Amino acid sequence: MDKEQRKHETPMAKQGVLDRIHNFYEVALGYTEEQARAEAERCLQCPNPRCVQGCPVDVPIPQFIKLIKEGNYIGASEKIKEKNSLPAVCGRVCPQENQCQKFCVIGKMGDPISIGRLERFVSDYERNQGVTIPEKQKAGATGKVAIVGSGPAGLTVAADLVKLGHEVVMFESLHSAGGVLMYGIPQFRLPKEIVQAEVSYIKKLGVEVKTNYTIGRIFTIDELFADGFDAIFVGSGAGLPRFMNIPGENLGGVYSANEFLIRVNLMKGYMFPEYDTPIRIGKNVAVIGGGNVAMDSARCSLRLGAEKVYIVYRRSRDELPAREEEAENAEEEGIIFTLLTNPTKFVGDESGWVSGMECIKMELGEPDASGRRRPVAVEGSEFMMDVDTAIIAIGQTPNPLIQRTTEGLETTKWGTIIVNEETGAATKEGVYAGGDVVSGAATVISAMGAGKTAAAGIHDYIQKKKGGK
Amino acid sequence: MYKIVTKTELAPNIYLIELASADIANKSNPGQFLILRLDDKGERVPLTIAGVDLNKGTVSTAFHAVGRTTKKLAKLNAGDSIMDVSGPLGNPAEVGNFGKVLLVGGGVWCAPLYYVAQALKKNNNKLVVVAAGRTQNDMVYENELKSVADEFHVATDDGSKGNEGLDFLADVLKAQKFDHAVVMGPVSALKKVVEMTKPYGLNTMVTLASLMVDGTGMCGACRVTVGGETKFACMDGPEFNGLDVDFDELVLRQRVYLPEERMASMIHDKLGGGVKRG
Ligand SMILES: Cc1cc2nc3c(=O)[nH]c(=O)nc-3n(C[C@H](O)[C@H](O)[C@H](O)COP(=O)(O)OP(=O)(O)OC[C@H]3O[C@@H](n4cnc5c(N)ncnc54)[C@H](O)[C@@H]3O)c2cc1C
Ligand SMILES: Cc1cc2nc3c(=O)[nH]c(=O)nc-3n(C[C@H](O)[C@H](O)[C@H](O)COP(=O)(O)OP(=O)(O)OC[C@H]3O[C@@H](n4cnc5c(N)ncnc54)[C@H](O)[C@@H]3O)c2cc1C
Ligand code: SF4
Ligand code: SF4
Ligand code: FES
C-alpha cells in the first residue's frame, strides 16, 4: 500500500438522505468484507499503539485489526470481547473521534483508522454466524449478585460476573432490558435487534433477567440483601429528565426528550396504530439542546413527518456536545441549527397546545467551569419562533428512587452515587455502582468501563467475604 | 407472563381482575398502581391496585373499558395471561390516624378506594363514605364501601339511585367537621369535591390519573402542577392534596392524545383484535 492510499479511510456506505429521512432503518450500512480488509490493511500495527490509550476499556486494537487482515473475523471478535462485551454497540455509537481514533498515529497525516467501523464489522459478522457461548471459568468463591438496571453498565457487570461462576440476577424496571440502548438511541443508529441479541447472550451465559422490577418500590436494596444477595450493583443510569422551568413548559406538545424517545423507540410509536402507543408530531419542531439526545430527537421528528426541525442550542456549533458524525448526519438531513439561542417561554393556543416559543439571542462570554465559553443573553433580542412541538433535551440526572430508599448510600449534590474509583464500591457495604448513575450522563463505553471495574471489585469482595482467597 | 386468576364483571364495562404475582402482592399498599402491557405491541397503561390476596399471591385491579387497551383487556378471561405487569408503583395513599375522614369514590374508582378505606378503618378513623356512579346500574363496590362506613351515601349523575350528583355534599360538610378527605374518581369529580371542601381548608387527597408512560420518573409525561410547582404524578404522587392541584392544566394534558386514542379505539371496535400471542 502506498503512502497516499494509507492516508485515506475506506468510506462506509450510508442510506441516501432522501430515503432515510422517511424511514427508521439504519443509516450507516457497515463495511463489506473487502472494505474491512482494505481498512485493516492501513493499520501500521504500532508496537506501542496510541489508539488503545483512547479506549476506556483498552480494546486490543492492533491485535484485532491484524486478525481482520488475516481473514479471521471470529478471532478478531473474540479478541475484542476480551475487553469489550458489546462491540456491535460500541462500534456504532462510541464517539470514536474523541476516543480511540483521536489518538491513532495515522490521524496526524490523514484519516485515522476507522476502528469503530472495523469493530462493528467483526461483531456483525460473528452475530450472523451464530455466537458461541464461552465456558465458565470458575475462579475462587462464588456468590449471589443483584444487578439493578440493564443498561451497558449492568450488562457488563452481569456478563463478567456470571463468567466467573457467580449467580447473577438482573432487575430492570422497564419491560425490556438494555437501558438507553433500548429506549433512547433510535433504531436508525442502533437497531434494537442488536441490543436484544446482546441481552439474550447474557441470558445464555446464565444471567436471570427480571424485567418489570423497579428496585426501591418492589424491593429495596436492604431487602435484596435480606433475600440472600451478597453484593448489589446499581447501574440505574441518569434517567430523570431536566426541564427548563420556563412558562408554558407543561403545554401539550412540549415533550421531554425522554418521553419522546421512549414513545418512539421503546414503544415503537412510529408504527402507531399498528403498535398501540401514539406519538404526535407537528409541522415545526424545536429541539432544545445540542447533545446526542437532541440530535436523536431531531432526526426522529423528521422521520415522523415534521416539515421543519430546528436544533435550538445556546452555544455555537463548535461547542455542540453531540458526536460529530451524528451532527453531520443531522445537517445532511436538513435539520436547521439555530445556534446561540435560548428559549424563554412557550405560548399555547386555546386548546392548551404549544403554538410558539419565545427565544433570546446569546453570545459567548468568559469560559465557565467546564472550560467552554459561557453563553450570555443579549438583552432585548427576544424573538418568537413558530413551533407546534418542542422537545427538551437539556440533560438528565440520576433517578433518585434508589438513593432515597437506601440508608447509608451517599450521593453528591447532583444526586450521583459516590464510589471508590478503583473498585466501584459505594459507601454502603456490599453496594457497588457505575455508569451514568455515578458519572452523570456520559457514554456507553464509559458506563461499560465502570462496569468492568465494579465487576472486579465485586469479585474481590466476594472472595474476601467468603474466605476464598 | 402474568396470569389472570379471576375476572369479575362489576358493572357494565367495568371489570375486576386478579393477577398472579406474589412479589407485587407482598409489597402493595393502598393508593399505589400497576402498569400493564398486554402484548408485544401494547401500550403501557396504569391501573390502581384494588387489593391483594397474600395467600394466593395475587393483586387485583378494577378497570373501565374505555379505550383500545382496556377493551382488549376486557376480552381476556381467567386463565389467560398478559405480558407485563409492573408494580407497585407510586407512593401509597396516606392512611394515618386522622379522626373523621370523608371518602368519595366515582365509578370504577370505588374499588381502589375500598382498599384505602379498609386501611383507614384499621387505623381507627371514622369514615363517612360516598359511592358515586353514573346511574344505578353503574355502581361499583357499593356493599364493600358500605361495610366499612360509619356513615354512607350513594349518588348518581342521573339521580336514579341516592342523591342526584354531588351537590348534597355541601350539607354533609356543613353538618360535621372532617379531619381528612380522600377522593378517587374522574377529574371532574375530584375538582368538584375540592371546590366544596376548599372553604373549610380540608386536606382533600386526590389521585391524579395523568398520562403516564414509564411510571418511574423517566419521561415527565405525568407532570402536574401542584402548589405552583411541577411534580411527576408517578414519583411524587399519584395522591396529592387537591387544594393545591391545577386541575385545568391536568384536564388539558389528559386530552393530548385524544384524536389518536379515538382512532385506536375505533380501529379496535371496527376491526376487532385481541391480545397478540407468541
Ligand atoms: C438519546 C441518547 C443518545 C445517546 N447517544 C450516545 C452515543 O451515541 N454514544 C454514547 O457513547 N453514548 C450515548 N448516550 C449515552 C449513553 O447511552 C449512556 O451514557 C449509557 O447508556 C449509560 O449506561 P448505564 O448502564 O449507566 O445506564 P442506562 O443505559 O441509563 O440504563 C439504566 C437502566 O436502569 C434502569 N433502572 C433505573 N432505575 C431502576 C430501578 N430503580 N430499578 C430497576 N431498574 C432501574 C433503567 O430503566 C435503565 O434501563 C446517549 C444517551 C441518550 C439518552
Ligand atoms: C395512576 C393512575 C391510576 C389509574 N387507575 C385506574 C383504575 O384503577 N381504573 C381505571 O379504569 N383507570 C385507571 N386509570 C386510567 C387508565 O390508565 C386510562 O383510562 C387508560 O389510559 C386506559 O387505556 P386505554 O388504552 O383503554 O384507553 P386510551 O386509549 O388511553 O383512551 C382513553 C380514552 O377514554 C376516555 N375516557 C377515559 N375515561 C373515560 C370514561 N370514564 N368514560 C368515557 N371515556 C373515558 C379518555 O378521555 C380517552 O379518550 C389510572 C390512571 C393513572 C395515571
Ligand atoms: S470500544 Fe469504543 S473507544 Fe474502544 S476501541 Fe471500540 S470504538 Fe474505540
Ligand atoms: S494507532 Fe492507528 S495505526 Fe497504530 S495500531 Fe492503532 S489503529 Fe493501527
Ligand atoms: S410516567 Fe414517566 S415520569 Fe411519570
Of B89, B119, B146, which marks where a domain is finished?
B89
Question: Is the per-residue pLDDT at A107 higher than 50?
Answer: yes
Give the nearest chain B residue to A349 (CA atoms): B252
Per DSSP (E only), the strands in B90-125 are 100-106
Does B207 map to a domain? yes
Q: Tell whether B52 and B174 lie within a shared domain.
A: no
Give the nearest chain A residue to B236 (CA atoms): A401
pTM: 0.92
Which residues in A have their CB inside 8 Å of a CB on B?
Answer: 173-175, 183, 211-214, 217-219, 239-241, 243, 245, 249-253, 255-256, 258-259, 262-263, 267-268, 272-278, 280, 351-353, 399-401
Reported ipTM: the value is 0.91
Label residue A403 by pLDDT band (50, 70, 90).
very high
Does B269 map to a domain? no
Chosen for mutation from B24, B59, B86 (greatest number of chain A CBs closer than 10 Å) is B86
The residue with cell 413527518 is: A305
Residue ranges lining ligand 5, Cβ < 6 Å: B 212-215, 217-222, 232, 234
Q: Is the CB of A116 under 6 A from ligand 3?
A: yes
Does B273 map to a domain? no
Q: Under DSSP, is residue A207 helix (H, G, I), strand (E, B) or coil?
A: coil
The verdict on a CB contact (< 8 Å) between A218 and B27 is yes
- Distance between A50 CA and the closest CA of chain B, angstroms: 39
Does B264 map to a domain? no
Does B214 map to a domain? yes
Q: Tell whether B160 and B217 lie within a shared domain.
A: yes
Question: Is the per-residue pLDDT at A214 higher than 70?
Answer: yes
Q: Which three cell numbers stand for residue A418?
A: 459516590
The verdict on a CB contact (< 8 Å) between B84 and A212 is yes
CATH of the domain at B196: 3.40.50.80
Question: Closest ligand to B115 CA?
Answer: 2
CATH of the domain at B6: 2.40.30.10
Does B261 map to a domain? no
Asked, as a colleague might, if the bond just before B238 is cis with ω within 30 of 0, I would say: yes
Question: Is the per-residue pLDDT at A247 higher than 70?
Answer: yes
DSSP string for residues in A317-347? GGG--S-HHHHHHHHHTT-EEE-SEEEEEEE
Give the mean pLDDT of A102-121. 93
Chosen for mutation from B52, B245, B256 (greatest number of chain A CBs closer than 10 Å) is B256
pLDDT recorded at residue B278: 41
Question: Is the per-residue pLDDT at B145 higher than 70?
Answer: yes
Helices A292-303 + A324-332 axis angle, to 10? 30
Q: Tell whether B243 and B154 lie within a shared domain.
A: yes
Residue B233 to residue B221: CA distance in whole angstroms = 9
Q: Which three cell numbers stand for residue A120?
A: 462493528
Q: Tell whether B118 and B184 lie within a shared domain.
A: yes
Q: pLDDT tens digits, residue range B255-269?
A: 877 777 777 777 777
Structurally, chain B folds into a number of domains equal to 2
Does B260 map to a domain? no
Angle at A167 between CA A161 and CA A170, to 5 degrees: 80
Does B110 map to a domain? yes
The verdict on a CB contact (< 8 Å) between A243 and B220 is yes
Q: Tell whether B70 and B114 lie within a shared domain.
A: no
Distance A149 CA to ligand 1 centre (A): 9
Among protein residues, the one with the nearest Cα to ligand 3's atom 8 is A100
Residue B217: give the domain boundaries.
100-254
Residue B159 to residue B166: CA distance in whole angstroms = 10
Q: Tell whether B61 and B132 lie within a shared domain.
A: no
pLDDT recorded at residue A270: 87
Residue A310 to residue A132: CA distance in whole angstroms = 45
Q: Which three cell numbers stand for residue A73?
A: 473475523
Q: Tell whether B147 and B247 lie within a shared domain.
A: yes
Q: Tell whether B129 and B39 lie within a shared domain.
A: no
Distance B75 CA to ligand 2 centre (A): 16
Residues of A in contact with B89 (CB under 8 A): 214, 217
The verdict on a CB contact (< 8 Å) between B86 and A280 is no
Q: Tell whether B85 and B104 lie within a shared domain.
A: no
What separation, in Å, do the N-terminal and C-terminal C-alpha atoms of chain B show? 11
What whole-number percentage of chain B has pLDDT above 90?
85
Distance A118 CA to ligand 3 centre (A): 10
Label residue A141 by pLDDT band (50, 70, 90).
confident
Q: Tell whether B219 and B168 lie within a shared domain.
A: yes
Q: Tell whether B147 and B122 lie within a shared domain.
A: yes
pLDDT recorded at residue A463: 92
Tell me the C-alpha to C-alpha distance, in Å, between residue A363 and each of A143, A314, A317, A342, A371. 56, 8, 12, 10, 16
pLDDT recorded at residue A72: 94
How many Cβ pairs closer than 8 A exist between chain A and B? 116
Q: Tell whether B13 and B77 lie within a shared domain.
A: yes
Residue A108 to residue A95: CA distance in whole angstroms = 18
The best mutation among B38, B43, B47, B255 to test binding of ligand 2, ranked by most ligand atoms within 8 Å of the C-beta, falls on B47
CB atoms within 10 A of CB A338: 16
Label residue B275 by pLDDT band (50, 70, 90).
low
The best mutation among A85, A96, A169, A180 to test binding of ligand 1, ranked by most ligand atoms within 8 Å of the C-beta, falls on A180
How much is the mean pLDDT over chain A? 92
